[in-house]
Amino acid sequence: MIDAAIKTIFVLLYVTVAFIMTRRDIISLISTYATQSFLLACLAGLLYMQERHATLLWLAALILIIKMVLIPSTIRSIQKKMKRDMEFAYVSPTGSLMLSIVIILLSYGALSHLLRELGLGQLFALGAITGVSFTMMGLVVIFSRKLVLTKIIGYLAMEDGVMIFSMFVAELPLIIEALILVDLFMLIILSTILALGMETTIEEVHKRLQVLVGEEK
Amino acid sequence: MIALLNILVAVLISPLFMTFIKKVKAWAQRRQGPPLLQGYYTFMKLLKKETVLSTNSSWIMRWAAPINLAVMIIAALFIPIVGIGGSGNILLFLYLLALAKFFMALAGLDAGSTFGGMGSSREMTISAVIEPVTVIVFAALAYVLGTMDIHRMALAVLANGPQAALVLISMSLFIILIVETARVPVDNPETHLELTMVHEAMILEQSGKNLAFMELAHAIKQTLLMGLLMSVLFPYGLATETTLVALVFGIGAFIVKGLCISFFVGLFESSMAKSRLFLLPNLFMLAYFFSFLTILFEVFA
Amino acid sequence: MDLFTAGFASMMGGALLRSRVLTLLACLLIAGAAGIFLTENQTITATFYEIVPGLSFAVHIDRLAAFFMLTIAAVSFCVSLYSVEYINQYKHKGLLISLMNIFILSMLLTVAAGNTFSFLFFWELMALSSFFLVMFEYDNDKTRKAGLFYFIMTQLSTLFLFIAFSLLYSYTGTTSMEKIILQEKSTFLFLALFIGFGIKAGIIPFHKWLPYAHPASPSNISALMSGVMIKVAIYGLLRFLLVLPAELWWGLLILGAGTVSALLGVIYALKEHDIKGLLAYHSIENIGIIYMGIGLFVIFSHYNVPALAAMSMAAALFHTLNHALFKSLLFLTAGHVVHTTKTRNIDEMGGLIRQMPYTALLFLIGAMAISGLPPFNGFVSELLLFQALFNASAVHNPIIELVLIICLSLLALTSALAAACFVKAFGMIFLAMPRSAQKTHEASWPMLLGEGLLALACVILGIFSPLYLNSLGYALPNMMFIGGALLFSILFFFLLARANTRYCETWGCGLISQTPRMEYTASGFSEPIVTIFSTIYNPQKHVSKEFFDKSQTLVREGHVEFHLMRFFEEYLYMPIANAAMVIASRIDTLHQKDMGAYIAYVFIAAVILLLWVGWFA
């Protein structure tokens, strides 16, 4: 039963990445990311029911607080002007979905015998594949989106991939996970400041120009 | 026996679902909406009217509507509506729908009007792009349930209980339902003589009994796809034996389930806007990705 | 055996006497002989004429060969029946008849060949006779270009086969078909066979000759070439594939080539407005589908699933037969349309259903069969292939399973696009109003009879073949019941709808009367698909305008050009051709000398030979 639930969550997670790849609406992008984090927390919770590591529960709580609530609300509060991201580079959204099918196949092909040697169970192998392909798909988002803000969401998706991989294969100590999350939060703040900073400077230039126009009159 | 009852119920109940969706959409817009039996009234009215044919049209025009209705009635054999009886190869079902579409598109071109041609062109384009999704969803069903027969699929679900994968497949099936029945965001069933329309443009030249047949065929198609969705997602209530109680219960269960799906379709349509024709492959690719993943997880496990 | 001999003899007689009746008789005899042969499990082996020891003309007919001979003979019969009337429009009738006889005979003998030598001999005969037939309207520039292109491609195919057969001989030491059994790995051999037969079959990227050669040749010849000749290549591939120790990647290669050909074939067909060119692209598509079946056969055999392997092989063989039937039907009907309208551009046709109702009906049957719609034969073979692909889980190798699933979805896309393409073709040719002034007439009865037989075969095979296949253990739906019920209910509703009808003009959006310019054109019809698949077509638009005034507001004249990229021509064929030209020009400079230089070449060659003999040999 838990196995089936975990598998379903995997598929749903993939769907959220697919949405992150293709959506043009920034608000729904952010809420998709929040959903993804929620699913991740569920995953950690389910894994706790199977493994009984207290670390996993802590992780679930951390994800819920930081990734589901804090980061989306930060982005929302900073970013109010831009509504849509229509600009794509290198690959179209449809193309990146096709690309991701290839990525999943590739990561399976590359990892399958490696994981067999490690002697991991079916579910854990799936987790590893999901993690790796998530990271790759996040990369695709980063290079195919043009806006800085959406690039950040790509980075976040990539980070989720690392987290899934570590949950299922590497068993990173909690402290490192926490550090990653803190890192991430810092990065969000930094890049949004960067993105916003650029915009404010443009606005300032615009204001000055307006002043000039006024003086001419 | 059950097979015949399936056909009969599908034919009789289809206009009701069609109208109910309109009603739900009306409610969403805080309007009254048409009376629930409007579909039947329209059908009877059209049957009484004379058929006007274009002087440019040929026998294709005259045969298209009967072919459409006949194909849908035969296709009703394949889907467990009231009960499980008979056999239904899922691919043959798909290709019967394609046969109907083929003639509908030809009829759209037959009168030589621009609208008809535009409708046919778009319809064939959309149906071509959705086809890989449909087949892969069906393949996923065959994968999970281990059979290509829709009736046996329903039996398998009844026997094994709900599975996680089936819920996921149902979402893709829902997208197929929306696309095949020409609804928002793919098509807009409300518009006439507008550049957004696809299905309505194709049957613009139909009139009288032919139009009645076309619309009934369209309604039956919607019912069948709903039936397919239900037999995968929630087949409970289907009659498995030919007792009176089971059959009556089956009919009742089908109407209730159908109204539920119709309600959902109506809400879905109200919450969406018609999307640009060339953005549709995007949506379909999502559905494809979705069903591919389902298979992927079935395969890896 | 006697029947075969009689058939071959009468075909030969037909070629010599230029008699149409003998051709018909010969086809009938051979079809009958092959039909009888198929039901019995035996083989015929005979040697006719030994040129030198080891090289002889021999015949070896088993059930595989008999199946292909039946296909060839049956289709040839219908085509010959059609040709009785059709060829009257050509000047050199006698030549056309005898060439056609030689062509059919060489195809039959290629299939019946008992050793690789006679296979190659008749293969070449087939190539040459078909080349002459393509060049039949040689006074047309385009035909000459097409003929040359075809000639080069077909010789390339023979070259690869020659390499393959030499390798085969060096491995096994025999030329006889029945004795060839190979155990060791033979990558080069397979590749040579794959390319050699691939060129003839028209697999992408070796497909380019088809859309040139088919439109150029007379329609009955296109029907033969597209319907049967490319099937001989399928036969060759199967014949050798069955005796070689197949590896997994062979199957994947064949499957991949098939999928790509099927998809790209139909995608190219959609933008084609030359009716015969469109049909030629559909040949590529269908050959792709057949290749998919063969590839699946190899894959399933490799994973030791004999039932599914047999199913995919049945799908491939059955589709071979079906494609031969409906494609020749389509080419024949298209031939009549082209003959009476004097144009091949479907944008200039329209409304022909009123002048030629029977031709329209026959074309419609062909179109539905090729689109894989029930209850016609194309549906049954595609269904077999789909079922084989649906059972991909039997492979037990996740990556391969997923590859098969992807192929499955691409196959579905292909067949849906084919339906769209034939809605376009039928709609533009036969429906609505005529787009240009035409004086057309219905085909004469021998032509209709030839086409009608093919159409009948399509229907009968579609309805009754599931019964036969089910008796072999396949779970196909009962098409007889479905077809009957469909027919009954269609008739019922038709009679119901017939009463109370009035004719009126189509509403012209407020204009007084409707003109053909209001109709959708073929380009317009396929425009959405071209837009969606623009990555493949890579359409380019050049607009040039001339203006009356300087500020460019009043347009005097405008000119728009649309170009679709010809990927394979630009990136595969032309570089190879250019490389050949560069090498040739290098060699050419060697020849721009006086006689002394040539003697010097001889001297250098002699020295090299001496060195070779002295030290290396």
Domain count, chain B: 1
- CB contact B59 to A (< 8 Å): no
pTM: 0.89
Determine the pLDDT at residue A172: 61
Determine the Cα angle at B67 with ends B61 and B73, to 5°.
150
Selected residue with higher pLDDT from C34 and A189: C34
| Contact between residue C108 and residue C66 where contact means Cβ atoms under 8 Å apart | no
Q: Which of B168, B286, B301 minimises the CB distance to A97? A: B286
Task: Judge whether residue C494 has pLDDT over 50.
Answer: yes
Task: Judge whether residue B95 has pLDDT over 90.
Answer: yes
Give helix C445-471 / helix C306-341 axis angle, nearest 10°.
170
| Segment 463-492 of chain C within 8 Å of chain B by CB | 475-477, 482, 485-486, 489-492
| Segment 186-205 of chain B within 8 Å of chain C by CB | 205
> With b meaning 16 or more CB within 10 Å and e meaning fewer, what string describes C199-228?
bbbbbbbbbbbbbbbbbbbbbbbbbbbbbb
Q: Which of C393, C420, C476 minimises the CB distance to B125? A: C420
Determine the pLDDT at residue B86: 74
- CB contact A22 to B (< 8 Å): yes
Q: Which residues contact C187 (CB under 8 A, 6 or more apart)?
A: none
Selected residue with higher pLDDT from C78 and C546: C78
Determine the pLDDT at residue A86: 66
* Nearest-neighbour CA in chain A from B146: distance (Å): 18
Query: Amino acid identity, residue C99?
Result: L
Highest mean pLDDT among B128-137, C53-62, C554-563: B128-137
Determine the pLDDT at residue C348: 86
Contacts of B286 in chain A (CB under 8 A): 18-19, 22, 97
- CB contact B295 to C (< 8 Å): yes
pLDDT for C432-469, tens place per residue?
Answer: 888 877 778 888 888 899 899 999 999 999 998 888 88
Task: Judge whether residue B262 has pLDDT over 80.
Answer: yes
Distance CA A187, CA A155 (A): 10
SS3 for chain B, per residue?
A: CHHHHHHHHHHHHHHHHHHHHHHHHHHHCCCCCCCCCHHHHHHHHHHHCCEEEECCCCHHHHHHHHHHHHHHHHHHHHCCCCECCCCCEHHHHHHHHHHHHHHHHHHHHHCCCHHHHHHHHHHHHHHHHHHHHHHHHHHHHHHHHCCCEHHHHHHHHHHHCCCHHHHHHHHHHHHHHHHHCCCCCCCCCCCCCCCCCCHHHHCCCCCHHHHHHHHHHHHHHHHHHHHHHHHHHCCCCCECCCCHHHHHHHHHHHHHHHHHHHHHHHHHHHHCCCCCHHHHHHHHHHHHHHHHHHHHHHHHC
- CB contact A122 to B (< 8 Å): yes
Residue C517 pLDDT grade (very low, low, confident, very high; cuts 50, 70, 90): confident
Contacts of B293 in chain A (CB under 8 A): 11, 14-15
Contacts of A94 in chain B (CB under 8 A): 281-282, 285
- CB contact B129 to A (< 8 Å): no
CB contact under 8 A, C402 and A105: yes
CB contact under 8 A, B66 and C409: no
Which of A208-212, B99-103, B222-226, C247-251 bottoms out in mean pLDDT, i.e. has the lowest?
Answer: A208-212
Which of A13, A19, A22, A91 is the best mutation test for B, with the most CBs of B within 10 A? A22
* Nearest-neighbour CA in chain B from C518: distance (Å): 6
Task: Judge whether residue C571 has pLDDT over 70.
Answer: yes
Q: What is the mean pLDDT of residues B25-42?
A: 92
Determine the pLDDT at residue A217: 42
Backbone angles phi, psi at C389, to 5 degrees: -70, -35
CB contact under 8 A, B293 and A11: yes
Contacts of C406 in chain A (CB under 8 A): 101
| Segment 267-286 of chain B within 8 Å of chain A by CB | 281-282, 285-286
C-alpha dist (Å) from residue C400 to A92, C256, C289, C327, C395: 27, 12, 18, 32, 7
Tokens 């529960």 identify what position? A57
Question: What integer best gives the mean pLDDT of chain C?
Answer: 86
Determine the pLDDT at residue A84: 66
* Residue C22 backbone zone (phi > 0: left; psi -120 to 50: alpha; other: beta): alpha
CB contact under 8 A, B285 and A98: yes
- CB contact B275 to C (< 8 Å): no
- CB contact A108 to C (< 8 Å): yes
Chain C residue with Cα closest to B88:
C477
| Contact between residue B147 and residue B100 where contact means Cβ atoms under 8 Å apart | no
Determine the Cα angle at C437 with ends C435 and C441, to 5°.
105
Which of A62-76, B42-56, C190-204 bottoms out in mean pLDDT, i.e. has the lowest?
Answer: A62-76
C-alpha dist (Å) from residue C425 to C148, C272, C367, C420, C517: 29, 10, 9, 9, 18
Which of B7, B46, B99 is the best mutation test for C, with the most CBs of C within 10 A? B99
Distance CA B299, CA C195 (A): 34
Which of C6-15, C47-56, C522-531, C596-605 bottoms out in mean pLDDT, i.e. has the lowest?
Answer: C6-15
Which of B58-62, B230-234, C533-537 bottoms out in mean pLDDT, i.e. has the lowest?
Answer: C533-537
Distance CA B204, CA C514 (A): 16
| Contact between residue C370 and residue C282 where contact means Cβ atoms under 8 Å apart | yes
* A95 lies in some domain: yes
Backbone angles phi, psi at C539, to 5 degrees: -70, 145
Contacts of C411 in chain B (CB under 8 A): 135
Distance CA B188, CA A179 (A): 51
Determine the Cα angle at C418 with ends C413 and C421, to 5°.
125
pLDDT for C373-399, tens place per residue?
Answer: 988 999 999 999 999 999 888 888 888
Question: How many CB atoms are located within 10 Å of the residue C290 CB?
Answer: 29
Give the DSSP letter string of C220-267: HHHHHIIIIIHHHHHHHHHHHHTTS---HHHHHHHHHHHHHHHHHHHH
Task: Judge whether residue C199 has pLDDT over 60.
Answer: yes
Taking alpha carbons only, the member of C18, C166, C185 closest to residue C102 is: C18
Contacts of C502 in chain B (CB under 8 A): 50-53
Give helix B244-271 / helix B2-28 axis angle, nearest 10°.
30
Quick check: ipTM above 0.90?
yes
Determine the pLDDT at residue C534: 81
* Nearest-neighbour CA in chain B from A6: distance (Å): 10
**Cα torsion through B85, B90, B93, B97, rounded to 10:** 140
Omega of the bond prior to C205 within 30 degrees of 0, cis? yes
Helices (H), C431-478: 445-471
Q: What is the pLDDT along chain A (217 residues), one digit of tens a residue?
A: 777 788 888 888 888 888 888 887 888 888 899 999 999 999 888 888 887 878 788 888 888 887 888 888 877 776 666 666 667 777 788 888 888 888 888 888 777 777 777 776 777 788 888 888 888 888 888 888 777 777 778 888 888 888 888 888 766 666 666 667 766 776 666 666 666 554 544 455 556 556 666 654 4
Backbone angles phi, psi at B194, to 5 degrees: -130, 160
Highest mean pLDDT among A143-152, B282-291, C160-169: C160-169
Determine the pLDDT at residue C366: 95
Domain range annotation of chain C? 1-149, 527-563, 568-616
Distance CA C505, CA B167 (A): 50
Question: How many CB atoms are located within 10 Å of the residue C460 CB?
Answer: 12
Share of chain B above pLDDT 70, in %: 97
* A199 lies in some domain: no
Distance CA B107, CA C432 (A): 10
Determine the pLDDT at residue C168: 86
Q: Which of C398, C406, C535 minimises the CB distance to A108? A: C398
Selected residue with higher pLDDT from C497 and C418: C418
Domain count, chain A: 1
Share of chain C above pLDDT 70, in %: 98
| Contact between residue C91 and residue C215 where contact means Cβ atoms under 8 Å apart | no
* Cβ-based contacts under 8 A for chains A and B: 51
Determine the pLDDT at residue A194: 63
Query: Amino acid identity, residue C350?
Result: G
Distance CA B22, CA B45 (A): 19
Determine the pLDDT at residue B177: 93
Q: Kind and range of the H or E element at C540? A: strand C540-547
Query: Amino acid identity, residue C169?
Result: Y
- CB contact C398 to A (< 8 Å): yes
Query: Which residues form the domain of A10?
Result: 2-79+91-192
Q: Kind and range of the H or E element at C541? A: strand C540-547
Q: What is the mean pLDDT of residues C361-368?
A: 94
Selected residue with higher pLDDT from A118 and B35: B35
- CB contact B299 to A (< 8 Å): no
Which of C363, C365, C463, C494 is the best mutation test for B, with the most CBs of B within 10 A? C494
* Nearest-neighbour CA in chain C from B56: distance (Å): 6
Question: How many CB atoms are located within 10 Å of the residue C333 CB?
Answer: 34
* Residue C304 backbone zone (phi > 0: left; psi -120 to 50: alpha; other: beta): left
SS3 for C2-35, per residue?
A: HHHHHHHHHHHHHHHHCCHHHHHHHHHHHHHHHH
Which subunits count as partners of chain C given 3+ CB pairs below 8 Å?
A, B
Chain C residue with Cα closest to A98:
C406
Length of chain C: 617
